[in-house]
Every structure is written in C-alpha cells, then in structure tokens.
C-alpha cells in the first residue's frame, strides 16, 4: 500500500514538472498554431536568470524571482515580436516556424553555455533532507509545493479560459483564427499575450525545476520533449488538458517502470504518445471541431 | 515569393551556426596566431566539451592544449609545430562520429586523441580504422574496447579491473551477498556493471540492476523499487557526477540508509565530494591512481595551476591525458606523421614509459597493463581503503 502511494507520489512529482512546461507550450501553440520548441530553452533561461540574480548578484530569492519573471516575459515577447511575427507576416508556414524555434533553442542553450559554463549548478537555497511521511510514502515540502502549483494552474487556467474575457478571446483565436479576426479580435494582441503569459510560466517552471533537480544548460531539451508529450496526450489545443495529460504521463511512466525494467521509461512515454496520436489524436481533453 | 521567408530563415540559421562555429573553435587560451606555422602537425582531439561530462571535458581540453604548447615552445616535433583541433564529442556516439568524420575528411588528420568517454571511442573506432587513422584514448575504460582494433590504444585501464577489485572487496571483506545497481545506459557505466557482476557471481553473490537513460533527473521509482529488494549495498555506476548527485539526494529524501559504491567518475570529482560529503560518507570506489610523486606529475600539476589559476581536477584522468600527448610526441618523432606507423609503434614500443600517471606499458591488445586500487570516501575526500 505504502509502495503504491509512493509510486503515485513519484508520478505526481514527475507529472507536475512536465505540466509546468507543457502549459506554456500549449498556450502558445493553441493561439499561434506552431510548435515553439524553444520553450524548453526559455525554461532553462528562467532557471539561469534566477541563478544570476540570486547566487551571483545576491538579491533576495523571492525578489530575484520577480525580476526573473519579468525578464523572461519580456524575452518571450521580444522573441515573438522580432522573430516569429516578422516570419508570420510574410506567410511562413508552420514548418518554417518549427525550424526557427529549434534554431532559437540552440541559440539560447549556447548563450547560457557561453555565459554560465557547462557545469551543473545549484541554488543551494533549500536543504536536502528526508521527506515528510504520509501513510508510509515520502515526499518533500518542495515537491508538495510544485504539485500544488500545477494543480492551482490547472484550476486557474480552466476557469480563466472558460469565464474571463481574455480567455474567451484566446479560445476564439485558437478555435478559428480567421473567424476571430473577422469578428474584430486583434490576433496580434492575443499572440503577444500568449507569449508573455507562456514565458512567465516558463520562468516559474524553470525556478521550481531547478530547485528540484539543479541547473544545466541543456536541461530545456529533455523538458520540452516530455512537456510536449504531456501536452499532446492531454490535447494540445486545451491548456488545462495539457496539464492533465502531463500528470497522466508522469504517473504511467513511474507505475510502468515498477513492473518493467527502468531503462524502458522513455519507451513507455513514447508508446503512450503513439497510441494517443493513432487512436485519440485530439487528446484526453481534445477540442471537437464541428466539421470533422 | 513564398520562398523568401524560408530563405531568410535559412540565412539566419547559417549565419548563427557560422558565428558559433567560429566562436567555439577558438583555442581555449588564445594562443597567438603567429605560433602556428605552415609546417604544422594536426592532431584531432575529441572529448566532451559540453553537457554533464564537460566537468572533465574542459580540464581535458586545457591539459591537452597546455602539453601541446609546452612541446611547441621547445621546438615542436623535429621543428614542426603541433596544432590541436578540438571537436566536441558530447560523450555521445553520434556526436563523436560526426566529429571524427570532420577531423578525418576535412582536416585530414592522421592521429586523434580521443574519444574520452567510452561511448565516444566505441563509435569512432570503425571510422578511424577504415581511414587508417590512429586513436589514442586517455579516458575510455569500457572493457569492450580491449583489442577492438589495431588503430586504437589507450593509456587508461579497462573497467574490468575496477569491477573486479570492488567485487572482491564487497564479497570477501564486507561480506555483502546482494548488490543493487543504478546504471546509466552508456558504455562506461554498463562496462563496470558487467565486469563487477561477472566477478561477484563467480564468487557466489548476486546483483540486480535498474538502468536509466542519459539526461534522466527523476530516480524516485527506481529507488523505491531497489529499496524494496533490501540489498546489502547500492552501486551507483554513472557517467557523470551530476547524475550521481541527483541520485544520492533522492536517496536521502527517500530516507534510505544504504552502503554505497560509486564509479570512479564520481569519486574523482574532488569538488563534488567536498560539497556532497555527507551524502557520500563511507562510499567505496576503485580508482586508477596517478603516481603523484613522479616528476612528470609534479610538472603537470604546477604548470596547470600557474596557467589556469586553479588546482588540477580529476588527477588520474588528467595525468593520462598529459601522458597521451607526450606519448604521441615520441611516436611522431620516431615514426613520423602516419596513422598506420603510429598504430604499430603503440603496439610494440611502449614499455615502462615514465609519465605523470606512472610507468606505462601498452600491451598487444592496445590496453594499458595496470589496474585500479580500492578507495573509500571519508569527510569529502577519497582515501586508500585498507
């Protein structure tokens, strides 16, 4: 029993980390309809900016986080304004944008490498100690906090998308960009907003993930691969769905390696991805289209 | 018309790649350009200069450059200067294969120092053999490399020694019978696992293992699973100290008090041992120990410190790296710049060669004839185990 609970916890911890990455990625995808793979590198950038403010300059941790949040949001906006938007305005296909996003990812990773070096870094902000025991299973306060943030984001975004004006506009654009534009919605504003909000979430993800598993320049690639998988499983057009999909992925992966050799962990993740793409391509929370 | 943005994007990508290529191909220490003359001997150097493994890839690069500058300042090889061309193998077979292709086909090198990681060496041996280019590894220890090709030699010992001495101490000295392994899915960590298991099972013990892919950060379920098996000790066999750091932290969070063994990639990281002293206390490891009393080692250590302004890390690895450059110097002086002849020289002429890592003899199978010693980690330092 304790072991089942421990696996569930392990799955939730992994899932919440994937979810933190997936949510921003999915937001940007649903409004802009292209894969912003550099999102993983933006997460890493957030983690490193926090390291810079907190460990190198010596600003208070929470104040550093606010600075990081604003800087990364600004960088996200600039990426949209000076890289993606000019290309989109020329009518570039989403394949071009995909390649550009991979290029951006490489540029950001190498930039981090250049400034901070290749060594693994740590904030050394929290002490490593035995986790809290809940019915025989162990979990640390930081992990509970990370899970809570993911769940809170899920609820917040669910209601934000359903009830708020901006949420409705974002859904309108993601549902049918042409129709939204004809109805007088400023698509450029929505795209900028999605990059700013998405990048802000990336910085939150970056700092929490770095607290949990240290910093390295290439951390973004692994994160975006799993975040992307979680987003597809949950329904990439649905932001709450991408969070649910990430939790699902985390739990299945960890439950899976309890029975299978642990070397198959990534294989489990990608088999699930294939199954979803074949049988339920719109994901768990897939948005239905009228004409399909 | 519609092609314009695509072309524009491609141009940008190409420009960025070129800028990065130029920026990263700059010699680590801004060696003045005038040092490099037209009659230069090109040596390729493949190692992990980025990623987790850069912790030893960076000093490796520094030591190679330093040794080459030392040789050049004393007149080079029969008057010709040596030029090192560094290519990043990223500790991965795929990246080092591209690096080797580039060095062989574009730079036309006859000799490559590398790979450093076993994964790098295993991937590039077939390419080197096909092109009759000689490879000298200063860090690859996978048992799979023993006798793999006449174009490959190493002055770092095989892990079969590392696995065997640790299995022996575990069984006979510690009385352990059941050992759990957490193994990274790369050639070096898997090589240690295989060598250990072979010897431990021969003695009468049993091992069980869980593997993880490079880049994994969440080991919780692996730890829960192994903990449930109640082994006598846990062997962490990983490519880089960063992976081990995550594992020991998560072991602590899972409240598991278990005797540890670690691969020498972990015990050789002096800075990491100091920082994580409480996690590694009492852990066993088998290291290939450099002869720190030798003249060459003292010279290496002092020159490194004065040039880079920091203590020499990974002493054993760096001693073999330093020796690799000087071994090549001797080979080049005696048989000239020819991959085939150098390969032959390494098989037959390296007997009791005195270097920073001790007395070097390379056997018919291309392996260093020497072994590992068992060490124990106490108060953040690795000491000889008695």
> What confidence tens digit (pLDDT) does each residue in B349-370 have?
998 899 998 888 898 889 887 7
Task: State how far the Cα of B115 lies from the Cα of B136, in Å rounded to an integer.
Answer: 8
Please report the pLDDT score of residue B56 as a whole number: 86
pLDDT > 90 fraction of chain A, expressed in percent and rounded: 49
- For residue B184, being part of any structural domain is answered with yes
**Does B100 share its domain with B182?**
no
Please report the pLDDT score of residue A173 as a whole number: 85
Please report the pLDDT score of residue B23 as a whole number: 59
- Verify whether the Cβ–Cβ distance B246 to A214 is below 8 Å: yes
Mean pLDDT value across residues B255-275: 90
Residue in B6, B52, B58 nearest the CB of A216:
B52
**Does B98 share its domain with B136?**
yes
User: What residues make up the domain containing B48?
Assistant: 40-157+293-360
- Verify whether the Cβ–Cβ distance B249 to A96 is below 8 Å: no
Instruction: Decide if pLDDT at B28 tops 60.
Output: no
- Verify whether the Cβ–Cβ distance A7 to B221 is below 8 Å: yes
Number of Cβ atoms within 10 Å of the Cβ of A97 = 22
Instruction: Decide if pLDDT at B33 tops 60.
Output: no
Q: CB neighbours of B97 closer than 8 A, spacing ≥ 6? A: B123, B124, B127
Average pLDDT of chain A to the nearest whole number = 89
Instruction: Give which of B46, B28, B139 is closest to B94, Cα–Cα.
Output: B46
Domain map (residue ranges) of chain A: 2-279
Average pLDDT of chain B to the nearest whole number = 88
Residue in B6, B215, B221 nearest the CB of A92:
B6
Query: Terminus-to-terminus CA distance in chain B, angstroms?
Result: 76
Instruction: Decide if pLDDT at B38 tops 60.
Output: no
Higher pLDDT, A50 or B10: A50
Q: What is the dihedral of CA A117, A123, A128, A133, to 10 degrees?
A: -120
pLDDT > 70 fraction of chain B, expressed in percent and rounded: 92
Please report the pLDDT score of residue A41 as a whole number: 95
- Write down the CATH number for the domain with range A2-279: 1.10.3470
Task: State how far the Cα of B384 lies from the Cα of B386, in Å rounded to an integer.
Answer: 6
Task: State how far the Cα of B5 lies from the Cα of B12, in Å rounded to an integer.
Answer: 10
For residue A114, give Cα distances in angstroms to A105, A233, B20, B52, B111: 14, 35, 10, 15, 29
- Verify whether the Cβ–Cβ distance B220 to A13 is below 8 Å: yes
Task: State how far the Cα of A42 lies from the Cα of A29, in Å rounded to an integer.
Answer: 15
Instruction: Give which of B219, B214, B217 is closest to B265, Cα–Cα.
Output: B214
Please report the pLDDT score of residue B318 as a whole number: 94
Between chain A and chain B, the number of residue pairs with CB atoms below 8 A apart is 117
Mean pLDDT value across residues B159-164: 84
- For residue B207, being part of any structural domain is answered with yes
Instruction: Decide if pLDDT at B128 tops 90.
Output: yes
**Does B133 share its domain with B216?**
no
pLDDT band for position B327 (50/70/90)? very high
Instruction: Determine contact: B33 vs chain A, CB below 8 A.
Output: no
Find, in chain A, the residue whose alpha carbon is nearest to that of B19: A107
- For residue B92, being part of any structural domain is answered with yes
- Number of domains chain B is built from: 2
Q: Among all chains, which residue has been given the structure tokens 């570039």?
A: A92
Residue A102, judged by CB atoms within 10 A of its CB (0-12, 13-18, 19+), counts as middle
**Does B126 share its domain with B147?**
yes
Instruction: Decide if pLDDT at B1 tops 50.
Output: no
- For residue B31, being part of any structural domain is answered with no
Residues from chain A contacting residue B16 (CB–CB below 8 Å)? 103, 106-107
Going through A91-232 in order, the beta strands assigned E by DSSP cover 132-134, 137-139
Among B287, B306, B341, where does a domain finish? Answer: B287
**Does B112 share its domain with B207?**
no
**Does B134 share its domain with B73?**
yes
Minimal CA separation from A128 to chain B, in Å: 7
Mean pLDDT value across residues A97-108: 94
| Burial letters B299-313, b for 16+ CB under 10 A, else e | ebbebbeeebeeebb
Helices first, then strands: H and E counts in chain B: 14, 14
Helix (H) or strand (E) holding A168: helix A165-175
**Does B150 share its domain with B169?**
no
Instruction: Give which of A155, A146, A188 is closest to A169, Cα–Cα.
Output: A188
Q: A interface mutation test: which of B92, B218, B270 has the most A CBs within 10 A? A: B218
Find, in chain A, the residue whose alpha carbon is nearest to that of B246: A213
Please report the pLDDT score of residue B32 as a whole number: 40
Instruction: Decide if pLDDT at B338 tops 90.
Output: yes
Instruction: Decide if pLDDT at B316 tops 90.
Output: no
Task: State how far the Cα of A265 lies from the Cα of B185, in Å rounded to an integer.
Answer: 12
pLDDT band for position B336 (50/70/90)? very high
pLDDT tens string A153-202: 888 888 888 888 888 888 888 888 888 888 888 888 888 999 999 999 99
Mean pLDDT value across residues B90-106: 93
- For residue B383, being part of any structural domain is answered with no
Among B261, B287, B313, where does a domain finish? Answer: B287
pLDDT tens string B178-203: 999 999 998 889 989 999 999 999 99
pLDDT > 90 fraction of chain B, expressed in percent and rounded: 60
- For residue B336, being part of any structural domain is answered with yes
Higher pLDDT, B237 or B265: B237
What CATH code is carried by the domain that includes residue B60?
3.40.50.2300
Among B257, B287, B317, where does a domain finish? Answer: B287
Instruction: Decide if pLDDT at A128 tops 80.
Output: no
- For residue B30, being part of any structural domain is answered with no
- For residue B16, being part of any structural domain is answered with no
Instruction: Give which of B137, B60, B124 is closest to B94, Cα–Cα.
Output: B124
Please report the pLDDT score of residue A43 as a whole number: 96
Residues from chain A contacting residue B55 (CB–CB below 8 Å)? 118-120
């Amino acid at each position: 029993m304790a072991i089942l609970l421990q696996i569930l916890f392990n799955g939730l911890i992994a899932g919440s980390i994937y979810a933190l990455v997936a949510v921003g990625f999915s937001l940007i995808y649903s409004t802009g309809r292209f894969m912003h793979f550099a999102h993983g590198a933006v997460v890493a950038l957030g983690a490193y900016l926090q390291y810079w403010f907190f460990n190198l300059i010596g600003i208070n941790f929470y104040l550093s986080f606010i600075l990081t949040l604003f800087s990364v949001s600004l960088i996200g906006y600039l990426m949209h304004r000076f890289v993606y938007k000019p290309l989109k305005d020329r009518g570039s296909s989403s394949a071009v944008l995909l390649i550009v996003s991979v290029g951006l990812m490489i540029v950001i990773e190498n930039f981090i490498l250049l400034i901070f070096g290749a060594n693994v870094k740590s904030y050394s902000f929290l002490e490593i100690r035995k986790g809290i025991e809940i019915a025989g299973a162990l979990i640390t306060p930081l992990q509970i906090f990370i899970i809570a943030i993911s769940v809170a984001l899920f609820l917040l975004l669910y209601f934000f998308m359903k009830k708020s004006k901006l949420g409705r506009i974002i859904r309108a654009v993601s549902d049918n960009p042409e129709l939204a534009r004809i109805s007088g919605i400023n698509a450029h504003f929505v795209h900028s907003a999605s990059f700013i909000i998405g990048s802000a979430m990336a910085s939150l993800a970056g700092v929490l993930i770095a607290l949990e598993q240290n910093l390295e320049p290439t951390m973004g690639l692994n994160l975006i691969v799993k975040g992307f998988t979680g987003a597809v499983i949950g329904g990439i057009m649905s932001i709450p769905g991408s969070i649910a999909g990430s939790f699902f992925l985390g739990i299945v992966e960890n439950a899976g390696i309890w029975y299978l050799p642990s070397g198959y962990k990534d294989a489990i993740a990608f088999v699930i991805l294939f199954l979803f793409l074949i049988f339920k391509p719109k994901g768990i929370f897939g948005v239905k289209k009228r004409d399909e | 018309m519609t092609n314009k943005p695509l072309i524009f994007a491609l141009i940008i990508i190409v420009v960025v790649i070129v800028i990065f290529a130029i920026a990263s191909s700059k010699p680590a220490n801004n060696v003045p350009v005038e040092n490099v003359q037209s009659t230069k001997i090109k040596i390729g150097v493949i190692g992990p200069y980025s990623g987790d493994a850069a912790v030893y890839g960076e000093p490796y690069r520094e030591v190679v450059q330093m040794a080459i500058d030392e040789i050049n300042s004393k007149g080079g090889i029969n008057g010709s200067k040596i030029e090192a061309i560094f290519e990043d193998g990223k500790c991965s077979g795929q990246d080092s294969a591209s690096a080797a292709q580039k060095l062989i086909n574009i730079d036309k090198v006859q000799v490559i120092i590398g790979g450093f990681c076993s994964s790098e060496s295993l991937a590039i041996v077939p390419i080197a053999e096909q092109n009759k280019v000689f490879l000298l590894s200063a860090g690859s220890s996978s048992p799979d490399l023993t006798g793999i090709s006449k174009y490959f030699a190493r002055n770092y010992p095989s892990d079969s020694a590392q696995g065997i001495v640790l299995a022996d101490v575990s069984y006979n000295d510690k009385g352990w019978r059941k050992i759990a392994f957490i193994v990274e899915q790369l050639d070096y960590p898997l090589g240690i696992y295989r060598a250990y298991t072979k010897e431990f099972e021969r003695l009468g013990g049993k091992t069980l293992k869980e593997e993880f892919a490079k880049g994994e950060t969440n080991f919780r379920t692996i730890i829960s699973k192994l903990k449930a098996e109640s082994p006598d000790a846990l062997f962490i066999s990983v490519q880089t100290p960063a992976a081990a750091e995550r594992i020991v932290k998560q072991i602590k969070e899972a409240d598991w008090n278990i005797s540890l063994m670690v691969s020498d990639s972990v015990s050789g990281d002096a800075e990491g041992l100091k920082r994580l002293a409480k996690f590694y206390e009492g852990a066993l490891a088998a290291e290939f120990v450099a002869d720190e009393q030798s003249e060459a080692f003292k010279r290496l250590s002092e020159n490194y410190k004065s040039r880079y302004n920091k203590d020499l890390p990974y002493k054993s690895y760096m001693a073999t790296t330093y020796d690799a450059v000087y071994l090549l110097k001797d080979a080049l002086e005696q048989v000239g710049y020819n991959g085939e002849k150098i390969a032959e020289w390494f098989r037959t002429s390296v007997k009791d060669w005195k270097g920073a890592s001790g007395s070097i003899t390379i056997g018919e199978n291309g392996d260093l004839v020497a072994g590992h010693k068992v060490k124990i980690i106490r108060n953040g330092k690795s000491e000889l185990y008695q």
